[in-house]
Structure 1
Amino acid sequence: MGIKKKERSRNLAAGRPPTLQRPKSISRKATKALINSHHILGKRKAQALAKGNHAEVAAINAEISALGGLERYQQASLQGQRIDRGGDSSRVLMEWLNPVQSMLKDLPNGPLRMLEVGALSTTNQCSKSGVFAMHRIDLNSQGEGILQQDFMERPLPKDDSERIDIISLSLVLNFVPDAHVRGRMLQRTLEFLKEPNRHANPELNEFFPSLFLVLPAPCVTNSRYMDETRLEAIMVALGYVKVKSKMTQRLVYYLWAKKTAACDTAFAKTQVRTGTARNNFSIVLRV
């Protein structure tokens, strides 16, 4: 499956606001309401930008300012990472990797490389585990150890020494404002991951190379255009196999291992559910 290196329909920052490092405390209810409001406004803004409707963009910007601006959103984003709110999503990943963590600490060629896209912190569980050489990027980094970079513009690896063993897209894909760009982002992960079955230990080959994907649960439980069956079909077409999954009331977690070459299968925006209370999350793949 060919991927154009410079193809890009719009700035991803239109979908995912930046983050701050040290938020003030916000209640659980206020956190959820604020994040949901910004998410909706971000989608509306991206649509208005695509249409060139500058008046609507200005009106949406005013609504964002009335909510306290992006700074308030940033506080809510990091508040959700606190241990008393369930902690960061990488805790689930490290629990899944527990059977092979001892193997990861003594690899002959050094630690595996992990790329965390949309990194909020340098002190989450995957960072503190000591089993990965961490590479962290974010659209609007405001902390040391996190490179300010757009994943869609990240230079492609020159050789295997620059390729990645595991990529984390935790609550990133849902903030991309366009279904086609979401598809290209998933396709682009393949360009960075190492080839499968490169480890002498078959247990490591089961888990790596891989993609850790976290989405809000309604993206697959309440979307007109996406459910778990369709998401798995898209990932299988890309050459991924589901290793682990977990669903909570708020989030759905997946670990997808890269196993085969991607096939030339296109996925359009196709309705899988009816109902007026559905959201419009979708992923479009072009061959």
Structure 2
Amino acid sequence: MALKKKGPPKSLAAGRPPVLHRVKSISRSATKALINKHHLLQKKKRQAIAKGDGAGEAAINVEIEALGGIEGYQEASLQGQRHDRGGDSSRVLMQWLEPCLSSQEADSGRRLRMLEVGALSTQNACSKSNHFEIERIDLNSQGEGILQQDFMERPLPKDESEQFDIISLSLVLNYVPEPQGRGEMLRRTTQFLLAPGRYIGAPQLTASFPSLFLVLPAPCVTNSRYLDEERLVAIMESLGYVKVASKTTQRLVYYLWKRGRVCKRAGGPFQKKEIRAGPTRNNFAVVLS
């Protein structure tokens, strides 16, 4: 039997739901239904690509465009972030960080630098807090103040001036099309964060920075065959991260990970291994070699 040729590595753009023209506000239930439909279609599209089913992929693309394409998806996401709908995941982050940020000395020298990956708005809680100097990037920029860029193709920092105190990956990792790519994205975040132990003059920041804010759909962790909280913690610890805070709701899981020094005896590699069986489980996984 002839071996199948592997195609080129898939980019983050291959997994991100492809931006409906601006529309009037739609109901919470309609917004949720639209987002869920996009997620389902993107999953089917990845399966069709994996099977080499060009006709199936084309048919799914037609369905995606009928929903408004990526513009329609992002419009729904923006509406989902509206304050009256309980959106904006950065509000959770600010609840966690406010105590240490409020106690930060006024003459500390500068605002903290944040890289927001997958940014949809310049008006979220972090932006309004005045604690951060924020650089925002997204695969499909939705406006001024957001650079159109793929994080996986962003040039690596040359020095500390191009590194950050905190990186936000809110509902981004789940759009990376392959488990290996998700692991590489998590590994790559460490290269963009400042080295640990540099907040000696600001002890109130030491407990939380440098850090990674990670948000995922709750089922990625609570109902996956290949990932649960214990395994996620093990993966993150192998990269030198320590869990500072976490929160689980019906829809989302939120984590704040502080970057420490990589343990030489850290576990791994982390391959795609079933840890929970059951027909209702999903296949979300993170692979780290």
Do they fold alike, i.e. is TM over 0.5?
yes
2:157 is aligned to 157
Q: What SS does the aligned partner of 2:281 have?
A: coil
* CA shift digits 1:126-169 (9 cap, x unpaired): 01111111000000103000000000000111011111100000
Stretches of structure 2 lacking an aligned partner (at least 5 in a row): 1-7
2:230 is aligned to 229
Does the Cα contact within 8 Å between 1:180 and 1:283 map onto a contact in 2?
A: yes
Aligned pairs for 1:245-284 within 5 A: 245-261=246-262, 263=266, 265-284=268-287
- Point out 4+ residue stretches in structure 1 off by more than 4 angstroms: 18-23
Q: What SS does the aligned partner of 2:108 have?
A: coil
* CA shift digits 1:203-248 (9 cap, x unpaired): 2111000000001111111111111111111111110000011111
Distance in 1 between the 2:70 and 2:143 partners?
A: 16
* CA shift digits 1:80-101 (9 cap, x unpaired): 1001110300000011011112
Paired AA for residue 128 in structure 1? K
Distance in 1 between the 2:168 and 2:19 partners?
A: 17
1:125 is aligned to 125
- Aligned CA RMSD, in angstroms, stands at 1.9
Stretches of structure 1 lacking an aligned partner (at least 5 in a row): 1-7
Quote the offset at 1:102 in angstroms: 2.3
Quote the offset at 1:107 in angstroms: 4.8
1:166 is the counterpart of 2:166: yes
Quote the offset at 1:177 in angstroms: 1.2
Q: What SS does the aligned partner of 1:207 have?
A: coil
Distance in 2 between the 1:24 and 1:141 partners?
A: 20
Task: Name the TM-score, length of structure 2 as normaliser.
Answer: 0.91
Paired AA for residue 281 in structure 2? R
Task: Name the TM-score, length of structure 1 as normaliser.
Answer: 0.92
Distance in 2 between the 1:21 and 1:123 partners?
A: 20
Structure 1 pair 30/159, CA: closer, same or farther in 2 (3 Å)?
same
Q: What SS does the aligned partner of 2:168 have?
A: strand
Q: More displaced, 28-37 or 84-93?
A: 28-37
Q: What SS does the aligned partner of 2:207 have?
A: helix
* CA shift digits 1:180-225 (9 cap, x unpaired): 1000000000010001111123321110000000011111111111
Quote the offset at 1:50 in angstroms: 4.3
Q: What SS does the aligned partner of 1:234 have?
A: helix
Structure 1 pair 202/18, CA: closer, same or farther in 2 (3 Å)?
farther
Distance in 1 between the 2:158 and 2:101 partners?
A: 28
2:175 is aligned to 175
- How many residues in Structure 1 have an aligned counterpart in Structure 2? 279
* CA shift digits 1:98-119 (9 cap, x unpaired): 1112244725331111000000
Aligned pairs for 1:71-220 within 5 A: 71-104=71-104, 106-199=106-199, 200-220=201-221
